Amino acid sequence: MKTIFEKWQRDDNGFTFAKLDVPDNEAVPEKFLRKSLELPIISEPEVIRHYTTLSKRNFGVDLGFYPLGSCTMKYNPKINEDVARLAGFTELHPYMPQSSCQGAMQLMYELTDYLKEIAGMDAVTLQPAAGSHGEFTGMMVMKNYFQEKGASRNKVLIPDSAHGTNPATVTMSGLTCVQVKSNQKGTVDLDDLRNKMDKDVVGIMLTNPNTLGLFEEDILEVIRIVHDKGGLAYCDGANLNAIMGLVRPGDLGFDVIHFNLHKSFSTPHGCGGPGAGPIGVKEFLKRYLPNPSIEKEDEIYRFFYSKDSIGKVKAFYGNFGMLVRAYTYIRGLGSDGIRLAAERAVLNANYMKERLKPHYHLTYDRICQHEFVIDDSNMPNGVTTNDIAKRLLDFGFHAPTVYFPLIVQGAMMIEPTETETKETLDQFIDALIQIKHEAENEPDKVKNAPWTTPVKRVDAVKAAREVDITYCTICS
């Protein structure tokens, strides 16, 4: 497909408005104007067709099933958008006096209350802009806590099944990662944990349910081992979708947790754009949270600044538009709805797992939470996870998360979420079963897929080694 620059005929075939017959109002002085911007001049219908065609090459959850494990690509209800577009929210300015934005402050205050209740925590900040940003905020809170006590702890324990952001965060926080092994069941190996938990350890960073979709059933013991040696327990709450309304990480003993509003609470995954990764903490860590927090006194909402705060992690108060969407989602579902969403997410994952079990190798044959992992160990004719992921695109589905978690060779991690119908789940399962038959009978069909997408199989090595993502007309 041609780029918009290539469509530009270089002759002036755009539309020009008629000359003004009234005086020009405050025109920009001539000296500030460029002679030419080198922007393509194209008729309006051509521009519309160009971008509409491009948009049809995109894939998103509004177009089809998106079972990307660990990412919780659930449908984002459009009422969230309606509410976020109310003028009272969109026309706010962060420097407005607090007295004139009490409604927005009330929304933020109440959202922190809901998140506290869902996670079993005592205080919440809404500032971090992503899950990983929340992890960083949480690590800094934990680090400050020990620094103030004069303790020179510098290690953080992370299970080998962890999401890549966990070790990255720990390293960015100036701390050192120590890996804890998983056992045969896919959960934390308690003996390895006991050996590694010592007086230099800040704490453990644990995802529960973990990235294999398994609930850490020894969680109380895990946290006891860490607490007994004076460490803290951090919960990577990105997978809260499986347990919200059912289990509260704070009740299990976790001291800090981050939420991914753009996963469990149905705000859009920003494609690098705005996300929101609030964190919750227990009372004894509250004073370290980023400034400001919101307090309520005599029905008035005020920003509160703690002198022990780790500082700011985001300009102003966080990605406010995302907070409005998450608030709308939580209010829309209510506490029963939140629990039902988690129950359905778990039911959907287990249904898919059981139907796929006769055809694909199920890495851990146990009841799963919101996601499960299959692998390519029983694939005939050298068909790999990568081939299966590519072939799925021909059926109109997004591929699952592949080759993660790292402890499973050829992993395919499938997370259906609660917002899909049984028909959709069945179609996806049937596609995977058909791909298995193709792998047996006509493997080239799988190995050379995709066949129907605008871009066919790319050379992944070349794409990674010789990255060229620019298109240049002006400089060539």
Ligand X SMILES: *Cc1c(COP(=O)(O)O)cnc(C)c1O
Q: Which of 207, 328, 363, 386 binds ligand X (CB under 6 A)?
A: 207
Say whether residue 211 binds ligand X (CB under 6 A). yes
Q: Which of 127, 165, 369, 401 binds ligand X (CB under 6 A)?
A: 165
Residue 125 CB, shortest distance to ligand X, in Å, is: 15
Query: Cα–Cα distance between 132 and 279 in angstroms, integer?
Result: 11
**Where does this chain touch ligand X (CB under 6 A) — which range of 124-132, 284-292, 388-396, 407-415?**
124-132
Tokens 């405050």, located at residue: 26
Task: Write the binding mask 132 to 151 for ligand X: x where contact by CB under 6 A, - elsewhere.
Answer: x-------------------
Say whether residue 236 binds ligand X (CB under 6 A). yes
Say whether residue 260 binds ligand X (CB under 6 A). yes
Identify whether the C-beta of residue 398 lies closer than 8 Å to the C-beta of residue 59: yes
Q: What share of the chain is helix, strand, coil (3-state, %, to 5)?
A: 40, 10, 50
- The continuous run of DSSP H or E covering 74 comes out as none
Residue 171 CB, shortest distance to ligand X, in Å, is: 15
Nearest residue (beta carbon) to ligand X:
131
Instruction: Give me 435's structure tokens.
Output: 């791909």
Decide whether 401 or 419 has the Cβ nearer to ligand X: 401
Nearest to 260 by CA among 139, 142, 128: 128
Say whether residue 131 binds ligand X (CB under 6 A). yes
Nearest to 179 by CA among 197, 199, 156, 158: 158
**Between residue 274 and residue 313, which ones bind ligand X under the rule CB under 6 A?**
275, 277
**Where does this chain touch ligand X (CB under 6 A) — which range of 21-29, 171-179, 236-244, 413-421?**
236-244
Identify whether the C-beta of residue 472 lies closer than 8 Å to the C-beta of residue 4: no
Identify whether the C-beta of residue 160 lies closer than 8 Å to the C-beta of residue 289: no
Binding-site size, ligand X (CB under 6 A): 15
Q: Which of 40, 65, 66, 70 binds ligand X (CB under 6 A)?
A: 70
Those residues with Cβ within 8 angstroms of residue 225's Cβ, 6 or more apart along the chain or in another chain: 190, 193, 194, 197
Beta-strand relationship, 176-180 and 155-159: parallel
Q: Which of 61, 84, 121, 130 binds ligand X (CB under 6 A)?
A: 130
Which residues contribute to the site for ligand X (CB under 6 A)? 70-71, 130-132, 163, 165, 207, 211, 236, 238-239, 260, 275, 277
